[in-house]
Structures are given as structure tokens and as C-alpha cells.
Amino acid sequence: MKIIPDSISSYIPTFASPEGRMRVVRDWFILIVVSIIVIALEIAWSVFFFHDNIVIHAPVHVTVIDVAKIDTNAMQQVQDIFSKRASQQSAYESNAGPFVDPSK
């Protein structure tokens, strides 16, 4: 008694040839081709959703600096610090003032 009738079994792929030998090269080729197709589809899927979600729908953050809001006091403090440092450097290089080595 046959479990699967001949009309149905003719549509089911067989992994062995009618002689009983397996076709290993064909099976590996099919496996590799299917794997490459799946990887290519996954890459295309990822690129599509990256482009759709990140590039198109992501909000663009633009920082606008109003000239009236710039703190000139802070800029003046920084310039004072650098000028003080420059005067200390020139005094050190010309041996005009005493220098205390903090490591001693």
C-alpha cells in the first residue's frame, strides 16, 4: 500500500535520482543560491528601511544662533585669560620675573 498516491508524488521533489544516488553538487548549489538570494533580500530590506526611516522621516536638527544672544562678556573673559597667559609666557622667556617650580 502506497502512502502517497502517484498523482501527488509526481509533484514532490526527490533528493535522490531514480538510480538511488544522491546529487550532492546540485543540492549544495541550490543551498548556496538560496542563501545568496536571502542575504541580498535582507540587505535590500535594510537599505530600504534605513532610507525610509532615517533619511526621509528623521527630523533635521538645525542650530540657529541669533547674533543678539551671543554673550560678549564670556568672550571678553576668554580674551583676558589668553592675554594674561601670554604676558606670563613672555615674562618667563625673558627671565624678567621669578619662576617657582611647583614640583620642588
Residue 104 lies in a domain: no
Looking at the structure of the chain, the number of domains it has is 1
Residues of the domain holding 85: 9-93
Residue 99 CA to residue 91 CA, distance in Å, equals 9
Residue 14 lies in a domain: yes
Residue 26 lies in a domain: yes
Predicted TM-score (pTM) of this structure: 0.38
Residue 102 lies in a domain: no
Residue 101 lies in a domain: no
Selection from 94, 92, 74, 72 nearest residue 84 by Cα: 92
- Three-state SS string over 40-88 comes to HHHHHHHHHHHHHHHHHCCCCCCCCCCHHHCCHHHHHHHHHHHHHHHHH
SS3 16: strand
At position 56, the amino acid (one-letter code) is I
Residue 23 lies in a domain: yes
Q: Specify whether the CB–CB gap between 21 and 14 falls below 8 A.
A: no
- Mean pLDDT score of the chain: 80
**Tens of pLDDT, residues 62-86:** 677 666 677 788 889 999 999 999 9
Residue 73 lies in a domain: yes
